Chain A
């Protein structure tokens, strides 16, 4: 079974602080996605990374795919209350047809 472990499980910070969340696995993935889920809604895709070592930026969010394509990180600069939510990573293997989801990191940004 491919497992994706996310850490930390919960994170509560003040507005303006920086943070990093991690997504780790012993398996190699052909692509990895990061989603954010707000209360009462479904997960919404933030980014997809496909190349080992790839770095993608989305405003204050920076995503990195590990060189070996087994892990990924999400860094948020100057967090805002609007960043509050559940962050999920999901890995896919070529021709697998389905993705493996991590358990998520619940982020709370206090004003």
Chain B
């Protein structure tokens, strides 16, 4: 298996621009998670989906952030408009819910820099 795939790996944009991060989970996994990691706040859960349905989006910072999962093999996290404080590494992870261990498998991350 190729593991969780994220794109792009690096994104540099200017304040006010729209940013879209993409994720392809591991085939067969039914849960998908979006995290943000910074030095100050560590690893924060933004939102997670189960069977393509958003279950908990309480970690989404504000209305500028939105996430979709149109099918079992693809998800996007969009920031519009972006701000410098959004600069962070964004991780996507997937798991097989109901497997008994809830182990999450992480992608390599997207490093976002908003100037």
Hey, which bits of chain B sit against chain A, CB under 8 A?
4, 31, 33, 42-43, 45, 48, 50, 55-56, 91, 93, 97, 100-109
Contact = CB atoms under 8 A, between A and B. Distances in A.
Interface in A75-111: 88, 90, 92, 96-99, 101, 103-104
Given A42-B91, A98-B56, A101-B43, A31 B101 contact: yes
A44 interface: yes
18 contacts: A30-B102, A31-B100, A31-B103, A33-B101, A35-B106, A41-B109, A42-B4, A42-B106, A42-B108, A43-B106, A45-B103, A48-B101, A48-B103, A88-B43, A92-B102, A96-B102, A97-B102, A101-B45
Contacts of A101: 42-43, 45
A50 B55 CA distance: 24
Contacts of B33: 98
Contact of B101 (A44, A50, A104): A50
A33 B104 CA distance: 9
A95 to B, nearest CB: 8
Main SS of the interface on chain B? strand
Given A42-B91, A50-B100, A104 B105 contact: no
A31 B102 contact: yes
A90 B104 contact: yes
A97 B55 contact: yes
A31 B56 CA distance: 20
Contacts of B56: 97-98
Contacts of A44: 106
